A = this chain, B = another copy of it.
């Protein structure tokens, strides 16, 4: 956050807001890692924990909203400060969505455990690691008001989209070869899509941060690498 030399009542309230957002970031990152571990290790205890912890993220988001409303009503922030407050609300909203996607990945572990094992499930690990890293980097950038790093995170999303697109193709091919694996593969397809969406939300956070630092929205279109909506795979 920008350094301030005179600590005002406004700054104190803003620190509370930033701290809540920071807590959400740490928790969301752990939720992603645990959800993917639960899925690949077929660990339903861990999956249950991730699903239960999602309520903590929801609760933190409600606290961010309440603190935002308090700040706006009592302190009438302007210009940079106003962008900062609105930005925190937006970041919190994205983190809450990330939590939902992680919980949904965890939930699918139960089905996967009941189904024949699909070795492609392990391909979820590098994608999960990539989006967890993106989130950690963008939250660090948020803490340090670092628009450069935020832009670098935005570029990494393209890699994630490419990894997702490639896994999507492999899963479709595998389903055609092994109809008995269709249920498991469908859940893996949705889990992979959830991870790809987490990457999008990390990218949204990066864009919100650039807006806060630079005072205007990014004009270039976001790089796009997810080509699955157009994908066809032919049976042999």
Interface residues in chain A, defined as those with a beta carbon under 8 Å from any beta carbon in chain B: 62, 68-69, 72-73, 76-79, 82-83, 86, 89, 93, 104, 107-108, 110-111, 114-115, 172, 175-176, 179-180, 182-183, 186-187, 189-190, 193, 217, 229-235
A93, A190, A229 interface centre (most CB from chain B within 10 Å): A229
Min CB distance, A197 to chain B, in Å? 10
- Tell me whether A179 and B180 are in contact in the complex, defined as CB-CB below 8 angstroms, given that A69-B83, A72-B72, A229-B104 are known contacts: no
How many subunits of this chain does the assembly comprise? 2
Chain B: minimal CB distance from A207 (Å): 12
B62 x A217 contact (CB < 8 A)? yes
| Contact yes or no, A79 B73, CB < 8 A | yes
**Complex Cα–Cα for A62 and B187 (A):** 35
Min Cβ gap A79→B in Å is 7
Closest to A86 in B: B69
8 Å CB contact of A82 from B73, B93, B104, B180 = B73
Report whether B232 and A182 are in contact in the complex, using a CB–CB cutoff of 8 Å: no
Contact (Cβ within 8 A) A110 B179: no
Are A111 and B231 within 8 A (Cβ)? yes
| Interchain Cβ contacts under 8 Å between A and B, 23 examples | A69-B82, A69-B83, A69-B86, A72-B72, A72-B77, A72-B82, A76-B76, A86-B89, A93-B93, A104-B229, A107-B229, A107-B230, A110-B230, A111-B230, A111-B231, A111-B232, A114-B232, A172-B182, A179-B235, A180-B235, A182-B182, A183-B231, A190-B229
